[in-house]
Chain A
Amino acid sequence: MAEAVTVDAFVRWLKHFAETVHDSAGHLTQLDSAIGDADHGTNMDRGLKAVVGVLDTNGFDSPDALFKKVGMTLVSTVGGASGPLYGTFFLRFGSALQGVESIGSKELGKAFRAGVDGIVARGKAELEDKTMYDAWAPALEAFDQAAADGLAAALSAAASAAAEGRDATTDLLARKGRASYLGERSVGHQDPGATSTTMLLESAAATLV
Chain B
Amino acid sequence: MKKLINDPADVVKEALRGMEAAHRDHVRVDHDHAIIYRLDAPRQGKVGLISGGGSGHEPMHGGFVGTGMLDAACAGEMFTSPVPDQMMEATKQVDGGAGVLHIVKNYTGDVMNFEMAAEMAAADSGIEVQSVVTDDDVAVQDSLYTAGRRGVGVTVLLEKIVGAAAEEGRPLQDVADLARSINDQGRSMGMALTSCTVPSAGKATFDLADDEMEVGIGIHGEPGRKRLPLAPAKDVAAMLVDPIVGDLPYQQGDSVIAFVNGMGGTPLIELYVMYNEVAQILDKAGITVARSLVGNYMTSLDMAGCSVTLLKVDDELVGLWDAPVDTPGLRWGCSDHG
Contact = CB atoms under 8 A, between A and B. Distances in A.
Interface of A: 37-39, 42-43, 75-85, 87-88, 122-123, 173, 175-178, 180-183, 185
A180 B146 contact: yes
A80 B147 contact: no
Nearest to B112: A84
A43 B80 CA distance: 9
Contact of A181 (B79, B116, B198, B218): B218
Given A178-B147, A181-B146, A79 B77 contact: yes
Nearest to B120: A75
A83 B147 contact: no
Contact of A176 (B147, B205, B218): B147
Contacts of A183: 142, 146
Contacts of B145: 173, 175, 180
Contacts of B82: 79
A39 B112 CA distance: 17
Given A78-B83, A87-B116, A176-B108, 8 more contacts: A43-B80, A76-B85, A79-B81, A79-B82, A80-B81, A83-B81, A122-B116, A181-B146
Contacts of B85: 75-76
Contacts of A181: 140, 146-147, 150, 218, 222-223
Interface residues of B, number: 30
B109 A75 contact: no
A150 to B, nearest CB: 36
Contacts of B83: 75-79, 83
A60 B147 CA distance: 38
B147 A79 contact: no
22 contacts: A37-B220, A38-B205, A39-B79, A75-B83, A75-B85, A76-B83, A76-B84, A79-B76, A79-B80, A80-B81, A83-B81, A83-B113, A84-B115, A84-B116, A122-B112, A122-B115, A173-B145, A176-B146, A178-B107, A178-B108, A180-B146, A181-B150
A123 B109 CA distance: 9
Contacts of B198: 38
A38 B108 contact: no
A178 B222 contact: yes
Contact of B223 (A77, A81, A87, A182): A182
B313 to A, nearest CB: 29
Interface of B: 76-77, 79-85, 107-109, 112-113, 115-116, 140, 142, 145-147, 150, 198, 200-201, 205, 218, 220, 222-223
Contacts of A87: 116
A187 to B, nearest CB: 13
B220 A81 contact: no
Q: Is the interface of A mostly helix, strand, loop or mixed?
A: helix
Contacts of A85: 112
Nearest to B78: A39
B76 A177 contact: no
B137 to A, nearest CB: 10
Contacts of B201: 38
A42 to B, nearest CB: 8
A182 B290 CA distance: 36
Contacts of B108: 81, 123, 176-178
Nearest to B140: A181
Contacts of B140: 181
Contacts of A80: 80-81, 109
Nearest to A129: B145
A117 B145 CA distance: 21
A84 B113 contact: yes
Contacts of A76: 83-85
B112 A79 contact: no
A178 B109 CA distance: 9
Contact of B79 (A37, A123, A177): A37
A122 B109 CA distance: 11
A72 to B, nearest CB: 9
A50 B112 CA distance: 21
The 5 closest A-B pairs by CB, nearest first: A180-B146, A84-B112, A80-B109, A81-B109, A81-B108
A42 B78 CA distance: 12
Contacts of A78: 83
Given A178-B108, A180-B145, A75 B116 contact: yes
A36 B76 CA distance: 17
Contacts of B146: 175-176, 180-181, 183
